[in-house]
Structure 1
Amino acid sequence: MSFNLNALLRDNIKKLVPYSSARDEFKGEASVLLDANENAFGSPLSHSYNRYPDPLQHQLKEKLAQIKGVPAENIFLGNGSDEAIDLLYRAFCKPGVDNVIIVPPTYGMYEVSANINDVEVRKVNLTSSYQLNLDGIAEAIDAHTKLLFICSPNNPTGNSINRKDIETILVNFNGIVVIDEAYINFAKQQSFTKDLAEFPNLVLLQTLSKAWGLAALRLGMAYGSTDIIRIFNKIKPPYNINQATQDLVLEALNNVEQVNAWIKNTVNERDLLAQALATIPQVEHITPSDANFILVKLSEPRELYTFLVNQGIIVRDRSKVELCEGCLRVTVGTNTENTKLLAAIQQFYI
């Protein structure tokens, strides 16, 4: 493989002079801040939010580096993983010229961001066992293919993608391979974080919205080479992570043991839920899951979905998604929530 990051980068991004604040231009601590036209008297809140936040989130990245085993300079923090996805398009894909590859069924924002940025999407469906079609991907790639998105564990199917197949693509594709590991905390398969140095064309996406329970704070992580992280920081908004989010996430990151206990409990509940669903005659198939949800194929999925909504139980109807026909995607809840769901499903089929 001959990977040339500069050749992938859009010309306007190469020439871009990023916005620079005084907080970017000095190092160390300051006692008098008179650079950003802030309100020097404070804020109406008990915590002072009158100052702009650290634009590069240094303290937060250092803490994440300790937990994730990834150097801080290889971490980008975004307003959810969706910001990193959008930045990838804006940095590397020329609108109306370049293309990306996605492997449906998969996370919908890859295609939404492509459409927003006027970038062609080439779809190479997963196989019937929800694994990569390597031959199909190879045929879809051309000189204008800049990005290839792989979600593992995959959403909405829940399974992990074969690691050797991903490595085959990393070795042979000259563009950027984006592996979305939003659900990696629930999986037996190892994260690709330890492989960042080996693959300069690798970008990993992770989130604090799932296992860490911080969905409302909207913090996503992207890991990549220092060159790719520099590009992200060059084009992101100046203060993309607000101070409240930085403070609360720092507090949450001190509770790794609590999160690990939740993960263990979720995996246990996932297995119990799958076993219970399998006893229902109308359940035709349950895809083995490495995530915190289960894809369930059953009879009358749309009717069951509507029945559950009327019971105040919300799941995701995936029955019209290609390769997920007849399926509902069910998030693993608490034992009480799962019991209520099972009772409602059994009531529907009586």
Structure 2
Amino acid sequence: MEHSENLNQWLPKHIRKLVAAKAALAEVPVLKEGFLNAHRPTGLYKTIGTDEDHSQRPDINATRLKEELTAHVHLNSQQICIGNGSTELIDLVIRTFCHAGKDRILGFQPSSARMAHFAQMQALELDLLELGHDFELPIYEVRKRISESTKMLFIENPNHITGSCFANFDIVDLVTSFDGIVVIDESAIDYSSDKSLVSILKDCSNLIIIQSFSRAWGLAGLPVGMAYASPEIIQVLNLLKPPFSVNTMAQKMAKKALYVADQKERIVTKTIQEREQVKAVLQKLPAVLEVFESETNTLLLRVEDADIMTEHLKKEELIHVLNVSALPGLENCIRISIGKGLDNMRLVKAFKDMPSKTAGPRLFWKAVSGTLRQASSFLGVFKKILGV
């Protein structure tokens, strides 16, 4: 089936009409708009580090930024849509492809609330499957839950709450077998040991991958998001996205960031090292019951009492903590963000200062358990030597 035929099959009728109308307008030459403010306050621009003229509208297509991105993601500019952060692009994709009262989105929990928020804003039916024991994709359950009304499959990879990554072969299996739109939110992919799935776009006309400059690139205050997909999908998204949503400064800073991509890689490496150092300390503390594996710049912890721990950390002015214990399977869990060295030291100290209700008994049984594991290991080696 041709891409255009697939696209018409997936797009709601009112969106197809809107795209046709927008496309017709796009063929008409657009006159350059006048200045919104012709008087240029030079001093203001100097205070933000530039003396350039910002009296005109931003480039609606972010043309120069796209040109720089093509070399980094090995796609052409017709496969890139630039938005005001990944959040705007998630909203745009849902509004573009899903019809209220008719279509369903299949997602997973625990996960961030962004997709669910926009689905509810569109009055869409939301089908959320719980992740497996180790936060793996429930492939069998997904296949059972997909129905004719399931228009979109939404996957966070890495997961923004748990910090875990799904196996790429599981994701590819779902993308290639699902007859609908698959959206993969890769906003935190730079921290992952797994590679982005951008490379499979050429073989998957139903796939949209969303990334962001907000996390590893450090531009959360100047949000820039990227949607990668087939040229046919990107054409539709570019026609429907809000105009001028990505300001000139954000576009220029994102482009500048690409020039120093090696610095970003060093920052990511440093963050991962600090994450593992914090993890090694926290998992030895009485107040921490469990530290989960992470592929992001956050750590998910299970503690004795998430409410008390959250309040304790906030008193220490450690604002990078999120109580996620209300989410399925995450009873008494909190998520912490990894900061710079001093921030992490303060975080660890705050955990150490938190008294444990059951520290004595738990530490005793933890020591006993460790001793038994060592004894079992030695016994296994001894049996091998004896040939038993």
Matched, 1:143 2:140: no
Q: In structure 2, do the counterparts of structure 1 residues 116 and 180 end up closer, same or farther at CA, with 3 Å as the change threshold?
A: same
Q: In structure 1, which of residues 53, 63, 68 is the aligned counterpart of residue 68 of structure 2? A: 63
Summarize deviations over 1:307-347 as a string: whole Å, max 9, x none. 11111112111112111111110111111111111101110
Q: In structure 1, which of residues 1, 6, 9 is the aligned counterpart of residue 8 of structure 2? A: 6
Q: In structure 2, do the counterparts of structure 1 residues 23 and 246 end up closer, same or farther at CA, with 3 Å as the change threshold?
A: farther
Question: Which residue in the other structure is 2:269 paired with?
Answer: 264
Structure-1-length-normalised TM-score: 0.93
Summarize deviations over 1:7-37 as a string: whole Å, max 9, x none. 01011221112289899837xxxxxxx7313
Asked if the contact 2:300/2:333 (under 8 Å) is kept, the reply is yes
CA distance in 2, matches of 1:82, 1:20: 28
**Shift of the alpha carbon at 1:100?**
0.3
Question: Which residue in the other structure is 2:92 paired with?
Answer: 87
Question: Which residue in the other structure is 2:252 paired with?
Answer: 247
Summarize deviations over 1:68-99 as a string: whole Å, max 9, x none. 22222111111111111111121111111111
Query: Which protein, 1 or 2, shows the higher relative CO under an 8 Å CA cutoff with sep ≥ 6?
Result: 1
Question: Which amino acid is the alignment partner of residue 337 of structure 1?
Answer: D
Question: Which residue in the other structure is 2:327 paired with?
Answer: 321
Asked if the contact 1:42/1:48 (under 8 Å) is kept, the reply is no
Question: Computing the radius of gyration over CA atoms, which structure comes out larger, 1 or 2?
Answer: 2
Asked if the contact 2:287/2:354 (under 8 Å) is kept, the reply is no
**Shift of the alpha carbon at 1:198?**
1.2
**Shift of the alpha carbon at 1:104?**
0.5
Q: Superposed, which structure 2 residues align to 1:38-187 within 5 Å? A: 38-39=35-36, 41-44=38-41, 45-46=44-45, 47-187=52-192
Q: In structure 2, do the counterparts of structure 1 residues 172 and 299 end up closer, same or farther at CA, with 3 Å as the change threshold?
A: same
CA distance in 2, matches of 1:40, 1:290: 46
Matched, 1:349 2:347: no
Which blocks of at least 5 consecutive residues in structure 1 are unaligned?
27-33
Q: Superposed, which structure 2 residues align to 1:206-221 within 5 Å? A: 206-221=211-226
Question: Which amino acid is the alignment partner of residue 351 of structure 2?
Answer: I
Asked if the contact 1:20/1:238 (under 8 Å) is kept, the reply is no
CA distance in 2, matches of 1:288, 1:23: 51
Summarize deviations over 1:221-256 as a string: whole Å, max 9, x none. 110000110110111122221112112222222211
Question: Which amino acid is the alignment partner of residue 122 of structure 1?
Answer: D
Asked if the contact 1:96/1:118 (under 8 Å) is kept, the reply is yes
CA distance in 2, matches of 1:253, 1:42: 32
Question: Which residue in the other structure is 1:330 paired with?
Answer: 336
Question: Which amino acid is the alignment partner of residue 267 of structure 2?
Answer: W
Question: Which amino acid is the alignment partner of residue 133 of structure 2?
Answer: S
Question: Which residue in the other structure is 2:32 paired with?
Answer: 35
Q: How many residues align?
A: 343
Q: In structure 2, do the counterparts of structure 1 residues 274 and 2 end up closer, same or farther at CA, with 3 Å as the change threshold?
A: farther
Asked if the contact 2:132/2:138 (under 8 Å) is kept, the reply is yes
**Shift of the alpha carbon at 1:42?**
4.5
Q: In structure 2, do the counterparts of structure 1 residues 65 and 301 end up closer, same or farther at CA, with 3 Å as the change threshold?
A: same
CA distance in 1, matches of 2:342, 2:307: 24
Over the matched positions of the two proteins, sequence identity in percent amounts to 31
* Greater alpha carbon shift after TM alignment, 81-90 vs 37-46: 37-46
